[in-house]
Amino acid sequence: MSEQIVDKIEYFRIDTFLPVKINAVSSIMRKGLKAHITKETGLKPVVINISAADISFKSYKKYAQDDILEIIFKIPTPIETTLCVYGEVRKVWKTKGNHYQVVAEFINMPEKISELIETYIFQWQRRVLFNTQISQKLGFYALQVSKLIFDTKLPFDIFIKDRGEIKYLFGDGLPFNSLTQEFFEEKNIGSVLIRHDDKPLFDNYLSRFRAKPKLFDRESLVSFRDYSFNKGYYHYIDRAVTVPHTEINFSLFTENNYVFETVVKASTEEPVTIAETVGKLEKGLFIRRFDLPLYRTYLNSLDMPPSKPEADRLKIIVLKEHIKIIMRELFTDPSNRENMAEAVGIAERIVECILRHPGSVYTLLSLDCNDFYLYVHSLNVAVMSAAVGLAMKLEYEAVLKLCVGALLHDIGLSVINDEIVNKQGKLNKLEYEVFKTHVTEGVKIIRGHYGISPESLSAVQDHHENMDGTGYPSGLSGNDISVFGKVIAIADAYDLMTPGSPYQKRHTPFEALSAIRKDLHYYDPEILKLFIKILTKVK
């Protein structure tokens, strides 16, 4: 009987948070590893999912499958004990928040250590059950997860409403950071509950930690890093879709000197009607990444203006906004076949839009960004490339293939370290060599999918080749470079110069075209003439 109970408990798993420290074990140190009790210090609380057989956690750091990890964590019951266990990475994948989800199976686990973990899990489940049961008699205060403050520990217990029942989730001390926020997002938890008795604790928490936004310091590496990290939690939108007098249930933000500030505060519980002043803001608008489903619903619900020109323009902008969301989803998970198929289908919508409304090229572009956003950049390059392809009198099918290649030209960046892709400053030599691999990585990703034409693939492979042979990855020159690669190279260079950033002055369209003219030895002169003819109309 006892063996059956142990087998059953082994597969119990819980969501909790514990003080944790994780180290990768080098191959030469793997012999003789065995879980044990330790007195290690310097542990930090992390949300984990744990059973007696394995552990799953989110990480800022990428681990590889079959890596061996030293996992040190402190369990509070039955007796506070710090354990050092070892786990072999079985699964690892990139999350929507650009973190890594890691699943590691415990190895070399003595029975004594396994029993300690099993007992802790069992007692935690009892605690959850007890607190859930007594919660039915208590009063609660609901608060939006968005009101919680990053890099703080929550001084109150957290409850959620699950299928109509109030359920205990976490005890006090929960670390609230980007990993915890993503945990809530993945479980579709937009609001949590705290006991009414804990409301003073929450008020005190807000007063202690709600400081004025930190100013961006151009001399500080910390400011650069914080900004690069934070911008991943926002999604750039076209302010033209914030139609006055329409209702939104998501907040709007603007970026002021590289600090994100709230413009309109809204939620599903407290929707807000958009004022006419919002669409007139000179700065770009953003929403939180986890509000994208709400934003999509909003886009689909917009009423078209009675004037046909205005209605056509709004339809094009709504199309652009949908495409940006699809491209963001693709870059988050480029292995997903549905995402790839949807992205390929976008090309036809772009080309049809330009054919039906030649002036739509300028409406589809987003050239007023203050920084580089991969999903915006890919759409811009695709629109410009399609317009040039049509101006070259290419066949319709050829323009579609060109547009697909342009949409996917930087898909390899999805597997390059975010600290390199989003670095606010010049890459060093080693970083640049890593960055250049995004071309071959992109080709690998595309070859893993069906339905991408060889011509689109060559566009991705050749978009960093130069006419004089100084490009990469193959050092091709002249006619050895595909026509699609030549087109995308110009569009790519132009779009990388027009957004500003903390370390780079924003170029006007005229300045960007002038800079490209100076580097004429890199580009095909005939294609460049067509490109300039199209882009000189951009203001």
- DSSP-assigned states of every residue in 242-264: S-TT-EESS-EEEEETTEEEEEE
- At 344, the amino acid letter reads V
Token pair for 42: 């310097």
Q: What angle do CA 385, 389, 393 make, to 5 degrees?
A: 170
Classify the C-alpha dihedral 331-180-422-89 as positive or negative: negative
Please determine, for residue 296, whether its predicted confidence score (pLDDT) is greater than 90: yes
What's residue 162's pLDDT?
A: 84
pLDDT average, residue stretch 525-536: 91
> What share of the chain in percent tops pLDDT 90?
56
What's residue 6's pLDDT?
A: 37
Which of 236-245, 363-372, 495-504 comes out lowest in average pLDDT?
Answer: 495-504
Task: Report DSSP letters for 435-451, one per residue.
Answer: HHTHHHHHHHHHHTSSS
What's residue 49's pLDDT?
A: 95
- What are the residues whose beta carbons fall under 8 Å from the beta carbon of 314, sequence distance 6 or more? 240, 241, 243, 302, 304, 305
pLDDT digits (tens, 9 = 90+) for 364-406: 998 777 778 899 999 999 999 999 999 999 999 999 999 999 9
pLDDT average, residue stretch 211-225: 59
Please determine, for residue 8, whether its predicted confidence score (pLDDT) is greater than 50: no
- Predicted confidence band of residue 4 (pLDDT cuts 50, 70, 90): very low
pLDDT average, residue stretch 111-118: 93
What's residue 94's pLDDT?
A: 87
Which of 41-45, 87-91, 227-231 comes out lowest in average pLDDT?
Answer: 227-231
pLDDT digits (tens, 9 = 90+) for 147-181: 888 888 999 999 998 888 899 999 999 999 888 98
> Domains in the chain, start-ordered, CATH in brackets?
2-113 (2.40.10), 136-209 (no CATH), 234-303 (no CATH), 306-535 (1.10.3210.10)
Which of 83-92, 216-225, 353-362, 454-463 comes out lowest in average pLDDT?
Answer: 216-225
Count of residues making up the chain: 539
Partnered with residue 194 across adjacent β-strands are: 141
pLDDT digits (tens, 9 = 90+) for 327-343: 999 998 898 888 899 88
Task: Report DSSP letters for 20-60, one per residue.
Answer: EEEEEPPGGG-TT---EEE-----EEEEEEE-SSEEEEEES
- Predicted confidence band of residue 50 (pLDDT cuts 50, 70, 90): very high
Stronger pLDDT, 309 or 405, i.e. the higher one = 405
Cα 224 to Cα 397: distance, rounded to the nearest angstrom: 43
What's residue 2's pLDDT?
A: 37
Token pair for 302: 């917009």
Cβ atoms within 10 Å of 375's Cβ, excluding its own: 21
State the burial class of residue 342 (Cβ atoms within 10 Å of its Cβ: 0-12, 13-18, 19+): middle
Token pair for 223: 């400011």
Mean pLDDT of the chain: 88
The enclosing H or E element of 92 equals strand 81-94
What's residue 500's pLDDT?
A: 67
The enclosing H or E element of 104 equals strand 100-107
- Predicted confidence band of residue 458 (pLDDT cuts 50, 70, 90): very high
What's residue 255's pLDDT?
A: 85
Cβ atoms within 10 Å of 85's Cβ, excluding its own: 24
| Per-position b or e across 480-495, b if 16+ CB within 10 A of its CB | ebbbbbbbbbbbbbbb
Tell how strand 247-248 and strand 272-273 pair up.
Answer: antiparallel
pLDDT average, residue stretch 303-311: 88
What's residue 217's pLDDT?
A: 60
Please determine, for residue 319, whether its predicted confidence score (pLDDT) is greater than 70: yes
Which of 12-21, 436-445, 473-482, 507-516 comes out lowest in average pLDDT?
Answer: 507-516
- Taking alpha carbons only, the member of 384, 413, 415, 400 closest to residue 344 is 400
Cα 24 to Cα 33: distance, rounded to the nearest angstrom: 13
What's residue 223's pLDDT?
A: 64
The enclosing H or E element of 107 equals strand 100-107
At residue 415, φ and ψ (nearest 5 deg) are: -110, 5
